[in-house]
């Protein structure tokens, strides 16, 4: 069966959601669990948008969660509680795979957007691409965290988590 662009996108989002829920179920780190669940929920929202487009229905103009603000709050709490979990290399590679997959989605949606005639569909694709880019930034921070939690705790700056500028945290020892 030849999938159209929307069906393909729906498949990608469905797999992304499953992947994040699976990672969330495999960690006891509360902060990580909540970030992964948030990412899974975001993929569900994307799925709904693509499903509507596929059925030629009105695209919901739902405002995405401010994932950076939410994630920063969670990261900050992890830092304040000085929580460091230990992760093995396998786990790090799962997160890297998720990061790679978000990057692929971002490129794919951006590319497809340029081919769409319909302005509202093009806009929806670009909006979702931008959200996938934010997921990439968030996952980069997560990869840093799980690669070396104690180092991350000392130097956490939540890189690029405010739309592209690096925020220098004001931490007093």
- Confidence (pLDDT) at 61: 72
Q: What is the C-alpha separation between 157 and 160, in angstroms, rounded?
A: 9
Q: Which of the pair, 122 or 84, is modelled with greater confidence? A: 122
Tell me the mean pLDDT in the region 107-134.
93
CATH code, domain with 136: 1.20.1260.10
Tokens of 119: 């302005």
- For residue 17, what pLDDT band results from cuts at 50, 70 and 90? very high
Domain ranges, residue 51 = 5-55+65-155
Q: Which of the pair, 156 or 26, is modelled with greater confidence? A: 26
Task: Examine residue 21 and state whether it is found in any structural domain, yes or no.
Answer: yes
| Phi then psi dihedrals of residue 122, to 5 deg | -60, -45
Q: What is the C-alpha separation between 140 and 100, in angstroms, rounded?
A: 10
- Confidence (pLDDT) at 14: 97
Task: Examine residue 78 and state whether it is found in any structural domain, yes or no.
Answer: yes
Domain count, the chain: 1
Task: Examine residue 19 and state whether it is found in any structural domain, yes or no.
Answer: yes
Task: Examine residue 95 and state whether it is found in any structural domain, yes or no.
Answer: yes
> Which positions ≥6 away from 109 have C-beta within 8 Å?
9, 125, 126, 128, 129, 132
Q: Characterise 82 by phi-psi region: left (phi > 0), alpha (psi -120 to 50), beta (else).
A: left
Task: Examine residue 172 and state whether it is found in any structural domain, yes or no.
Answer: no
Task: Examine residue 164 and state whether it is found in any structural domain, yes or no.
Answer: no
- Confidence (pLDDT) at 106: 96
Place of tokens 């130097």: 155
Q: What is the C-alpha separation between 81 and 5, in angstroms, rounded?
A: 44
Tell me the mean pLDDT in the region 10-32.
93
Residue 86 buriedness (CB in 10 A; 0-12 / 13-18 / 19+): exposed
Residue 56: CB atoms within 10 A of its CB come to 9
- Confidence (pLDDT) at 167: 37
Task: Examine residue 81 and state whether it is found in any structural domain, yes or no.
Answer: yes
Task: Examine residue 166 and state whether it is found in any structural domain, yes or no.
Answer: no
């Amino acid at each position: 069966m030849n999938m159209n662009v929307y069906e393909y996108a729906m498949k990608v989002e469905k797999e992304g959601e499953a992947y994040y829920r699976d990672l969330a179920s495999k960690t006891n780190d509360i902060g990580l669990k909540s970030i992964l669940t948030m990412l899974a929920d975001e993929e569900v929202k994307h799925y709904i948008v693509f499903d509507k487009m596929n059925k030629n229905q009105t695209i919901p103009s739902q405002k995405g969660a401010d994932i950076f603000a939410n994630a920063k709050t969670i990261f900050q709490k992890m830092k304040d509680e000085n929580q460091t979990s230990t992760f093995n290399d396998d786990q790090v590679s799962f997160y890297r795979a998720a990061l790679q997959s978000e990057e692929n989605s971002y490129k794919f949606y951006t590319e497809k957007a340029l081919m769409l005639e319909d302005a509202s569909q093009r806009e929806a694709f670009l909006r979702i691409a931008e959200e996938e880019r934010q997921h990439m930034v968030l996952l980069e921070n997560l990869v840093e965290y799980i690669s070396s939690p104690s180092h991350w705790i000392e130097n956490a700056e939540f890189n690029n988590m405010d739309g592209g500028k690096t925020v220098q945290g004001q931490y007093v020892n």
